[in-house]
């Protein structure tokens, strides 16, 4: 997984609860990305950050929030506004050659 740590590997959310997925990297990459993957589907972009203290919405940002206070960290919060949060969440960084590196993912399920 190339220096990207996602935790936890499995996460369960109760109705109305906010949960935060962790993504930490030690690759010294500036850009970080969050993707959502539903069964049998491709990856859909939630949020991305090119630099510390800055981030942009992807294609499916509603119901999610992020922060980028440190270069190494890009946590994703799945809020209660996200009505269908069950999915596999992937965090990625990109190097200077534009190669993406992915974490091992977090499977989020609703209780």
Q: Which residues here bind another protein, judged by CB under 8 A?
A: 1, 4, 30-31, 33, 35, 41-45, 48, 50, 56, 58-59, 88, 90, 92, 94, 97-105, 107
How many CB atoms neighbour CB 40 within 10 A?
5
Shortest Cβ 110–another protein spacing (Å): 18
Shortest Cβ 80–another protein spacing (Å): 26
How many CB atoms neighbour CB 66 within 10 A?
22
How many CB atoms neighbour CB 86 within 10 A?
13
Q: Looking at beta carbons only, is 12 or 18 nearer to another protein?
A: 12
Beta strands 64-66; 76-78: pairing state:
antiparallel
């Amino acid at each position: 997984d190339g220096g990207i740590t996602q935790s936890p590997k499995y996460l369960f959310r109760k109705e109305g609860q906010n949960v935060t997925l962790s993504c930490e990297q030690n690759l010294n990459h500036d850009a970080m990305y969050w993707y959502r993957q539903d069964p049998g589907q491709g990856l859909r972009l939630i949020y991305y950050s090119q630099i510390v203290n800055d981030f942009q919405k992807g294609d499916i940002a509603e119901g999610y929030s992020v922060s980028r206070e440190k270069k190494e960290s890009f946590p994703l919060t799945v809020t209660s506004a996200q009505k269908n949060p069950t999915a596999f969440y992937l965090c990625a960084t990109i190097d200077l050659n534009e190669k993406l590196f992915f974490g091992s993912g977090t499977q989020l399920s609703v209780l």
